[in-house]
Structure 1
Amino acid sequence: MPPLSEAATRQRPLDPEAFARYAVRDPREVLQLLNTVVEKRLLLSAFIDHDESFITLAIAATDDGALIIDACPDDARNARAGNAAQLVCTTRLDNVKLQFALQAPARITYDGKPALRAAFPESVLRLQRREYYRLPTPQTDPIVCVITHAAGDGRRHEVRVRILDISGGGLAILIPPRELEFVAGAEFNDCVLRLPDGDPLAVRLKVRNLFEVEKANGVKVQRAGCEFIGLSNQATARIQRYMFKLERDRRMRDER
C-alpha cells in the first residue's frame, strides 16, 4: 500500500479501540448527543466502508431508535452510502469531536426527498481537543521510543526511533531507514517510551498510516503514525502531563 499524504491522514476517523475510554455508551446519553446534533443541524463527515474520502451529510431527525439522514446531493455517492456496510461519521459539537458508526444505512424517502435511515449507534466517541490533538516534540532535545523486536537471526534487537509528535492516542515517529520494517497494521508490543520526567514508560503501538514528508533542507523522510494499544489510565495521565508541559513551555517562549 502506498504511503498516504499527511493531509489525507488527518481527515481519517479515529480508531475507536484506541479511544475506547472516551466512548459514551449509555443509550440515554447517546440519544441526547444525537438530538443535539439534529437541533444544531451540524454537518457530518461520513466515511464509507473505510474509504479515505468522505461525503458531507446532516441528520434530519431521530425516529423510533433510528436516524434519518438527508441524502447527499451527489447521486452516485448517495447510492454508495445507501449500499455501505458502515458509515463512520464525525462532527464537532461545541469544540468537542464526536464520532460514531452507522451500520447498513438504508435508502428511503423522507418528506418527499431521498434520505438514509440507520439504527442508533451503540456508542459515540466524545473527545475534547486536549485529549487527541498532536503536539510536536522538541527538536533540540527529542524524545525517543525504543522498540524491541525479533530479527531474522532469532535475536531480539532494540531500535531507537525519534518521536516527531505525540497525542493522548498515539505518536508519529521518524522511520529508521533500514533497521525495522514499518507497514500499516503492524503491531509492536514491546516498546519503551522515554519521557524526560520519570521512569521509562512501557507501551504497545500499532502502525496506522505511513507518509512522506519533506524537511526544510529538501530531504524526504518517511514517518509513521502509530496508535497506543491498551494504554492504561496511569500511562495516559503521564503522557497528558508531558503534553501540558510542552504546551506551557511553548506559550512561555511565544511570550518572550
Structure 2
Amino acid sequence: MASTRASLTNVLYRSQIEIARVLRLLEREGSMVSAHVANGERLYITRVVHVDLDAGYFLIAFSDEKQANDALLGDETVVFRGNVRQTRVEFSASHPCDTVHDDKPAIRFAFPSVLAQIQRRRFPRYRVPADVSLRCVADSGGVMPFEARISDISLGGLGAIVYDAGIRLPPGTVLIDCRIVVPEHEPVLVDIEVCYTKPVQLDDGALANRSGVRFVRPEKQVEALVKIFVVDLENEN
C-alpha cells in the first residue's frame, strides 16, 4: 500500500500510526511548528522533540519566553501548524503539561486524534466523527470468536484492536475471518495477525487489552477500511 501513500497529496489522518509517522518526520527534520496562544495575541514557535505512540503523547521544546510558555500551558487545546517536505501540516493537541526531556524543559501533549497534511495554501474544512473505531467480531472463523474494536488502521495495513482484558492473544496469533462492521457498508471479512499485546485503561476506567496487528488479507478489503481512518481530501472536497 506504499503506492497509495505516495499518491495522497491532501490528506486527513485519523490513523494514530500515520499521525505518529508525520510527527516523527517533523521531529527528525527539526521542522518548526507554531501556534497562536493567549487568545491569539502571541505566536508560539517550537519543535517536536519526542513522539511516543504507545504511551499516547508527544513533546515540544520550551520557548525562550516564559510568558509564552505560561500562555501555552494555560490553554486546554492548541492548534499547531508547520511545514515538512513541501507540505503543510495542521493538528490540534490538548492537555499540555510541563516536563523534562533530555535534561531540558519540554511540554507534553496528549496525542492528536486528527492531523491534516496538504499542499494547498488554505486548509479545507472537514468533518470528523468523535469515534472512528469499528466493531469487530474477531476470529469468527475460529473456535472462540469474541468482540473487539478496530481502533486504528494505517496505509501500510498495520493497525490496533482493543478487547476484553480476560482474553490473551500472544504475538503470532492469526484471527481468521474477522467480521468488521462498517457503517453504511457491507461487513468486511479479513484475517488479522497479532504483533504485540499490552494492557490499557479505557476512558471509563475499565481495563482492556490492546494488540498491534497486521491485516493480512484480502488487500482490497483492507484498503476499504483504511479509507475510514485516512481521508483523501482531494476526493472529499
**TM-score of the aligned structures, taking structure 2 as reference length:** 0.45
The higher relative CO (CA closer than 8 Å, separation ≥ 6) is in 2
**TM-score of the aligned structures, taking structure 1 as reference length:** 0.42
| Structure 1 or 2: more helix by fraction | 1
